[in-house]
């Protein structure tokens, strides 16, 4: 099973940031409201994710480390959701096949915590008592220690850190309800407190997108039939050139999409030609109206009625801009 897991890991685990993505998604799936990420040496040495989610019952701990052990596929309806995230119970097994992995967890029903450690090539799992509050900590040490070719592909600590930081920004923009922290080499470098109010959310956007964006952005809020767009658009007075702040989420999922870029540029054209402004936009629509690319890394979507969606976004932006500038 080790080899199969390592092959699967090739698709799942490209670098520390991809490990963190999988582990944090698990924490969020488990209902965590706080996720603390600690890394050493850009994540190549240590990745530790601690959450206050539901925890994993003792009897499921070793199972969680084996392939195709997902607790999440409950019905055929879920299949689409699971495909969209790309995972069917492979992340933990894959990560544990290319690192030294320990999983420590406690559920609310248990009075004590337990720790599982995958060992050796057959991936036998040993389970020992441990100390931990309700929730889980997953620790992956020495990523790719047993796959040196892969290890050589890792970039400098600084570059790997940047990948992690960028990914964290994207999830922190989308999940304003979650408290995220990031520690690098024992120093807390990010602290995104839960943003329950609009003011707190704009503060979070200031941390993530820069003060200039947060202080001048226009609020977008628009609904039409089954389409809903909300978020923020850089003010034309503050925009020039190309902004790095371009976040677009469809039904909560970050996507790269030319359609939204096109609509934004078009909305801007009458104020500032050739500008690609910053935006944080969330589009919600009937999931049946959009195809999510089955390849999890691509972040692409296809709208069944793309013209309709484009024009809706364009009009929502245009009306927000004309209101604020009149």
Which residues of the shown chain bind Mg ion in the complex (CB under 5 A)?
Answer: 26, 87, 91
User: What does 43 bind: Mg ion, ligand ADP, none (CB cut-off 5 to 8 Å by kind)?
Assistant: none
User: What does 257 bind: Mg ion, ligand ADP, none (CB cut-off 5 to 8 Å by kind)?
Assistant: none
CB-nearer residue toward Mg ion: 64 or 205: 64
Binding footprint of ligand ADP on the chain (CB under 6 A): 22, 26-27, 30, 51, 53-56, 64, 69-72, 87-93, 136
From residue 188, how far is each of 38, 77, 148, 304 by CA, in Å? 9, 40, 30, 44
CB-nearer residue toward ligand ADP: 94 or 243: 94
In whole angstroms, give the CA distance from residue 319 to residue 263.
Answer: 13
In whole angstroms, give the CA distance from residue 126 to residue 98.
Answer: 17
User: What does 260 bind: ligand ADP, Mg ion, none (CB cut-off 5 to 8 Å by kind)?
Assistant: none
CB-nearer residue toward ligand ADP: 69 or 254: 69
Residue 29 CB, shortest distance to ligand ADP, in Å, is 6
Residue 63 CB, shortest distance to ligand ADP, in Å, is 8
User: What does 56 bind: Mg ion, ligand ADP, none (CB cut-off 5 to 8 Å by kind)?
Assistant: ligand ADP
CB-nearer residue toward ligand ADP: 89 or 236: 89
CB-nearer residue toward ligand ADP: 70 or 293: 70
Closest to 13 in 3D by CA, of 143, 149, 208, 117: 143
Residue 177 CB, shortest distance to ligand ADP, in Å, is 17
User: What does 72 bind: ligand ADP, Mg ion, none (CB cut-off 5 to 8 Å by kind)?
Assistant: ligand ADP
Residue 87 CB, shortest distance to Mg ion, in Å, is 5
CB-nearer residue toward Mg ion: 87 or 144: 87
In whole angstroms, give the CA distance from residue 324 to residue 326.
Answer: 6
Burial (CB count <10 Å: 0-12, 13-18, 19+), residue 281: buried
Burial (CB count <10 Å: 0-12, 13-18, 19+), residue 204: buried
Residue 292 CB, shortest distance to ligand ADP, in Å, is 16
Residue 166 CB, shortest distance to ligand ADP, in Å, is 21
Reduced to 3 states, what is the DSSP secondary structure of residue 244? coil
User: What does 51 bind: ligand ADP, Mg ion, none (CB cut-off 5 to 8 Å by kind)?
Assistant: ligand ADP
The two most distant CA atoms of the chain are separated, in Å, by 68
Q: How many residues does the chain have?
A: 326
- Close Cβ partners of 160 (under 8 Å, ≥ 6 residues apart): 15, 16, 17, 42, 43, 44, 154
- As given in the structure block, the two tokens for residue 178 are 């979650």
């Amino acid at each position: 099973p080790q080899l199969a897991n390592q092959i699967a890991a090739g698709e799942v685990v490209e670098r520390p940031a991809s490990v963190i993505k999988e582990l944090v998604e698990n924490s969020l799936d488990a209902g965590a409201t706080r996720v603390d990420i600690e890394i050493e040496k850009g994540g190549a040495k240590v990745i530790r994710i601690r959450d206050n989610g539901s925890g994993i019952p003792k009897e499921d701990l070793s199972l969680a480390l084996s392939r195709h052990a997902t607790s999440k596929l409950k019905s055929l309806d879920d299949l689409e959701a699971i495909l969209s995230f790309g995972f069917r119970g492979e992340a933990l097994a894959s990560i544990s096949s290319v690192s030294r992995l320990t999983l420590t967890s406690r559920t609310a029903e248990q009075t004590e915590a337990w720790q599982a450690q995958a060992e050796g090539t057959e991936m036998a799992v040993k389970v020992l008592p441990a100390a931990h509050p309700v929730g889980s900590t997953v620790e992956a040490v020495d990523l790719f220690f047993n796959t040196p070719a892969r290890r050589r592909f890792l970039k400098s600590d600084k570059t790997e850190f940047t990948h992690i930081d960028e990914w964290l920004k994207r999830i922190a923009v989308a999940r304003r309800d979650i408290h995220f922290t990031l520690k690098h080499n024992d120093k807390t470098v990010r602290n995104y407190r839960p943003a329950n109010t609009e003011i707190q959310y704009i503060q979070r956007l200031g941390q993530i997108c820069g003060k200039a964006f947060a202080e001048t952005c226009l609020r977008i809020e628009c609904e039409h039939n089954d389409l809903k767009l909300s978020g923020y658009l850089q003010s034309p007075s503050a925009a020039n050139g190309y902004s790095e702040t371009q976040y677009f989420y469809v039904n909560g999922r970050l996507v790269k999409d030319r359609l939204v870029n096109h609509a934004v540029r078009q909305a801007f054209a009458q104020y500032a030609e050739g500008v690609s402004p910053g935006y944080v936009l969330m589009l919600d629509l009937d999931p049946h109206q959009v195809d999510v690319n089955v390849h999890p890394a691509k972040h692409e979507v296809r709208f069944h009625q793309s013209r309709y969606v484009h024009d809706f976004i364009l009009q929502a932006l245009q009306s927000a801009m004309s209101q604020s500038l009149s």
